[in-house]
Amino acid sequence: MMEDKLSRVAQGIPPSGIRKFFDIVTEMKDAISLGVGEPDFDTPWHIREEGIYSLEKGKTYYTSNSGLIELREEVCNYLDRRFDLKYNYKEEILITVGGSEGIDVALRALLNPGDEVLVPEPSFVCYKPMTTLAGGVPVPVPLQAKNEFRLTAEEIEAHVTDKTKAIILAFPSNPTGAIMDKGNLEAIAEVIRKHDLVVISDEIYAELTYGVKHVSIASLPGMRERTIIISGFSKAYAMTGWRIGYAVGPKAVIDLMTKIHQFAIMSVPTTSQYAALEAARNGDKDIQEMCGAYNQRRRFMVDSFRKMGLDCFEPLGAFYVFPSIQKTRMTSEEFATKLLFEQKVAVVPGTAFGECGEGFIRCSYAYSIENLKIAVERMGAFVKKHTP
């Protein structure tokens, strides 16, 4: 009976391309996975300990809808210290359940029925479904390998219509590892201002860049007033399971986002907020250490793929490598499936992140070097066997 009572909008959303893979990999016992989208480090102990202490102290009540005032203040200090971004902790920040909730409430606060949202792809999987659920229309903008998957002004121009309301900017990128440097951002900022678009800038990987410091588009002239920055603690401090993030932006939109958040979520788990407070206050050193470890693995992976003969641009952010597998003449899904069954290595087909991910695979390097070595050895044998 329930089948014909369901939401057509929700039913119309295609299932995540990753799900199928997940089921097969879980069944396979000795498979090595490069499919994980989260850090391999545990949350640093001083942060976990602060969470435990808050529980001991009985801090188990709701907090204000926007989040603990101390946490909001500390996050604003952190953004100023690390990225030279200035936000007022009293009215320009909302603490959210991970970056994901931030994206959801930002879209819901912005979109009217039929509003179009530009979604550069390949990208993290949630932007299109969230846009649809918020009543908007997602418009994929395919990025090019020849540009190292950076977004260009021409690509925006080619997809903008008079219905375009907003653009999602997610750099450093999951799945490609691409970044946008200041020059790249300046080039697109001009077009964004020209078409009067709002930017939802998902900067969850901002702390994980290699050799280049992350620049937020909000720090460019005339962009702060049209940008919502979404970020969080998951990647920088290895805190994925705590589900805590934040959104900062102009008061008007944060107010509306807070209203939605207030009805849908109430407030973020209090334990996570206290742990996050410690992270924002005393976690800079942890970030530096983890980032250093990722960088070593990144070099190792890029070099390994190039030795295999796979085209692989040098990713400067996040913890993914996105090599091309086109020379094997297989589709991404074929490649990933065969690799899993023949060599027991799990990677994610590029198509899981948008159609233009065809011909690529996403390999995470959030694993120990020892683990990565075994994986690339097996992949090397596989590529050799299947290259015509």
Partner 1 sequence: MREQILKAIELNGKRTVEDLALMLGNPESEIAAEISEMEKERIICGYHTLINWDKTGVEKVTALIEVKVTPQRGQGFDKIAERIYNFKEVKAVYLMSGGFDLTVIIEGATMKEVALFVAQKLAPLESVLSTATHFVLKKYKDFGVVLDEPVKDERMAVTP
Among 16, 112, 288, 387, which residue sits at the site for partner 1 (rule: CB under 8 A)?
16
Task: State in angstroms the smallest separation of the CB of 105 from partner 1.
Answer: 19
Scanning 14-22, 43-51, 187-195, 323-331 for contacts with partner 1 by CB under 8 A, the matching segment is 14-22
Please provide residue 109's backbone torsions phi and psi, each rounded to the nearest 5 degrees. Answer: -75, -20
* Rounded-to-integer distance, Cα 381 and Cα 345, Å: 12
- Quick one: 125 or 153, whose CB is closer to partner 1? 125
- Give the residue, chosen from 348, 356, 379, 383, that forms a contact with partner 1 under the rule CB under 8 A: 348
Residues 287-306 that bind partner 1 (CB under 8 A): 292, 296-297, 299-300, 303-304
Q: Which stretch binds partner 1 (CB under 8 A): 20-28, 113-121, 147-155, 242-250?
A: 20-28
| Residue 174 binds to partner 1 (criterion: CB under 8 A) | yes
Answer yes or no whether residue 145 interacts with partner 1 by CB under 8 A. Answer: no
- What the block records as the tokens of 339 is 């690799």
Q: Is 235 in the site for partner 1 (CB under 8 A)?
A: no
**Alpha carbon distance 357, 332 (integer Å):** 8
* Secondary structure letter of residue 92 according to DSSP: S
The 3-state DSSP class for residue 317 equals strand
Q: Which of 118, 134, 346, 363 binds partner 1 (CB under 8 A)?
A: 346
Long-range contacts, 83-91 (Cβ 8 Å, 24+): 83/206, 83/214, 83/215, 83/216, 83/219, 84/219, 85/216, 85/218, 85/219, 85/229, 85/248, 87/248, 87/249, 88/251, 91/251, 91/254, 91/255
Among 48, 59, 65, 126, binds partner 1 (CB under 8 A): 126
Pairing of strands 137-142, 164-169: unpaired
Q: Are 170 and 140 in contact (CB under 8 A)?
A: no
The span of 37-45, 62-70, 103-111, 219-227 binding partner 1 (CB under 8 A) equals 37-45
- Residue 243 found at the interface with partner 1 (CB under 8 A): no
The maximal CA–CA distance of the chain, rounded, in angstroms, is 64
Q: Residue 91 or 314: which CB sits closer to partner 1?
A: 314
**Dihedral angle at the C-alpha atoms of 100, 105, 106, 109, nearest 10 degrees?**
170
Distance in angstroms (rounded) separating the CA atoms of residues 384 and 388: 9
Closer to partner 1 by CB, 373 or 384: give it.
373
| Binding segment toward partner 1, per CB under 8 A, in 35-43, 54-62, 243-251, 252-260 | 35-43
Nearest to 83, CA basis, from 175, 218, 188: 218
Q: What is the DSSP string of 64-95?
A: -TT--HHHHHHHHHHHHHHH-----TTTSEEE
Question: By three-state DSSP, how is residue 129 classified?
Answer: helix
Nearer to partner 1, 204 or 217 (CB): 204
The residue among 92 and 203 lying less far from partner 1, judged by its C-beta, is 203
Counting contacts by CB under 8 A, is residue 40 touching partner 1? yes
For partner 1, the closer CB: 18 or 137: 18
Under rule CB under 8 A, how many of the chain's residues touch partner 1? 30
Residue from 22, 82, 145, 256 in contact with partner 1 (CB under 8 A) = 22
What's the min distance (Å) between Cβ of 323 and partner 1? 16
The reply on whether position 369 binds partner 1 by CB under 8 A is yes
Strand order from edge to edge, sheet including 164-169: 93-96, 245-248, 227-232, 198-202, 164-169, 116-121, 137-142
How many Cβ atoms sit within 10 Å of the Cβ of residue 153? 16
Q: In angstroms, what is the minimal distance from the CB of 264 to partner 1?
A: 22
Per CB under 8 A, residues contacting partner 1 are 16, 18, 21-22, 25-26, 31, 33, 35-38, 40, 42, 124-126, 174, 292, 296-297, 299-300, 303-304, 346, 348, 352, 369, 373
